[in-house]
Amino acid sequence: MTTPLGEEIARMIALEGPIGVERFMGLCLGDPRRGYYTTRDPFGAAGDFVTAPEISQMFGEILGLWCADLWMRMGSPSPVLFVELGPGRGTLAADALRAMRIVPGLHDALRVHLVETSPTLRDAQRLKLAETGVSVSWHSDVGDLPDGPALILANEFFDALPIRQYVRAPQGWCERLVGLDETGALAWGLSREPEPRLADASGPEGAVLEIGAVAGRIMSELAARISEQGGALLAIDYGHVRSGLGDTLQAVKKHAFVDPLAEPGEADITVHVDFEALARTAARAGAEVHGPVTQGALLHMLGLDARAATLSRARPDKAADVAAAARRLAGTGQGEMGDLFKALAVTPTGFGPPSGFAVLPPLSPERDA
């Protein structure tokens, strides 16, 4: 076994038997002592991957103004919660909060609540947000957030939530498990009994079906509170517009793919977000769903080009960097995020589309090839 957490998981499996992918992914990312996010700050060029807010301040600023616009359309309630789910280094929140200062009264109304399980990243967020002068509260779960209207941002949060996987076998959909091979190393396996609740799902033998039950529970709770107490959620992630079959579990270390079983706790593990499932869950909880639209379309609609031009005028020496960052965030070419990442918004029923979601028709499933 290659990592201390991998050895721990192998010992646990030897005692208790194979575990599901959901449990495995949850341990790899969130084990209280040795989980990937528990123990490190993985972001940036020197880390394992780079996220949109780390590419440019423009990303967080634009999302902050999106929140400010919604707040005014909501009738400027005070207090209002500003919530971020999985805030990483706190960069997005800091940039968003700074941008929101231009709206009179908003800063005084804001109560900042961050949902974060990693103590290491909570420390990074505390440090980063100290510069904004706002007071911040942390929560481990969305269920612990106080009541009230809430502006909720989630960037690359849902892709970090553990999923269950089922593989089509002759007898039905059997859960994909992590067990041990004859040498005692972690190895993939399958439950013998099929899952009765999936008896009606169709798919060819060997097909993989993913169920994001944790994401579903969180979306359901947030959509219900938004529909009852007001506010909005904006979720941006790598994922697909239509639910489909396929194994999307991937592990990344130092900007390269690695075997998910090889280095538990040392590699990031993510899945593609199933936006259709999230949208269905939010609608079922009584909220209105907007999009998904692509990240590129959203950022352009929300004024990315104007913001880039302003920044370049202020710092002509940085103009080339700003242009490159804008392309990386919103471009549609190789290695650019504009088309790969999608944005979904949730509001109370009858609120109408938030800015950036109004003009464009939602992505049709055909686009998602």
Phi, psi (deg, nearest 5) at residue 10: -65, -40
Rg (the chain; Cα; Å)? 21
Q: Note whether 59 binds ligand SAH by CB under 6 A.
A: no
Q: How far is the CB of 53 from ligand SAH (least distance, A)?
A: 5
Exactly one of 56, 57, 118, 132 binds ligand SAH (CB under 6 A); that residue is 118
Q: Are 87 and 121 in contact (CB under 8 A)?
A: yes
Q: Note whether 189 binds ligand SAH by CB under 6 A.
A: no
Q: Note whether 51 binds ligand SAH by CB under 6 A.
A: yes
Exactly one of 18, 64, 86, 354 binds ligand SAH (CB under 6 A); that residue is 86
Cα distance between residue 268 and residue 118, in whole Å = 14
Exactly one of 58, 68, 115, 186 binds ligand SAH (CB under 6 A); that residue is 115
Q: How many residues bind ligand SAH (CB under 6 A)?
A: 21
Give the residue at shortest CB distance from ligand SAH.
86
List C-alpha distances in Å: 336 to 60, 68, 332: 17, 27, 6
Q: Note whether 36 binds ligand SAH by CB under 6 A.
A: no
Q: Note whether 43 binds ligand SAH by CB under 6 A.
A: yes
Three-state secondary structure readout of the chain:
CCCHHHHHHHHHHHHHCCEEHHHHHHHHHHCCCCCHHHHCCCECCCCCECCHHHHCHHHHHHHHHHHHHHHHHCCCCCCEEEEEECCCCCHHHHHHHHHHCCCCCHHHHEEEEEECCCHHHHHHHHHHHHCCCCCEEEECCHHHCCCCCEEEEEECCHHHCCCEEEEEECCEEEEEEEEECCCCCEEEEEEEEECHHHCCCCCCCCCEEEECHHHHHHHHHHHHHHHHHCEEEEEEEEEECCCCCCCCCEEEECCEEECCCCCCCCCEEECCEEHHHHHHHHHHCCEEEEEEEEHHHHHHHCCHHHHHHHHHHHCHHHHHHHHHHHHHHHCCCCCCCCCCEEEEEEEECCCCCCCCCCCCCCCCHHHHC
Site for ligand SAH in 149-188 (CB under 6 A): 155-157, 160-161
Cα distance between residue 53 and residue 51, in whole Å = 6
Exactly one of 53, 239, 260, 264 binds ligand SAH (CB under 6 A); that residue is 53
Q: Note whether 58 binds ligand SAH by CB under 6 A.
A: no
Between 320 and 359, how does the x/- string for binding to ligand SAH read (CB under 6 A)? ----------------------------------------
Q: How far is the CB of 160 from ligand SAH (least distance, A)?
A: 4
Q: How far is the CB of 59 from ligand SAH (least distance, A)?
A: 9
Q: Are 304 and 58 in contact (CB under 8 A)?
A: yes
Q: Note whether 238 binds ligand SAH by CB under 6 A.
A: no
Between 245 and 284, how does the x/- string for binding to ligand SAH read (CB under 6 A)? ----------------------------------------
Exactly one of 6, 88, 264, 348 binds ligand SAH (CB under 6 A); that residue is 88
Q: Which is nearer to ligand SAH, 1 or 278 (CB)?
A: 278
Q: How far is the CB of 346 from ligand SAH (least distance, A)?
A: 17
Q: How far is the CB of 114 from ligand SAH (least distance, A)?
A: 9
Q: Note whether 294 binds ligand SAH by CB under 6 A.
A: no
Q: Note whether 24 binds ligand SAH by CB under 6 A.
A: no
Q: Which is nearer to ligand SAH, 143 or 184 (CB)?
A: 143
Exactly one of 110, 121, 151, 304 binds ligand SAH (CB under 6 A); that residue is 121
Binding residues for ligand SAH, rule: CB under 6 A, are 29-30, 37, 43, 51, 53-54, 86-88, 92, 115-118, 121, 155-157, 160-161
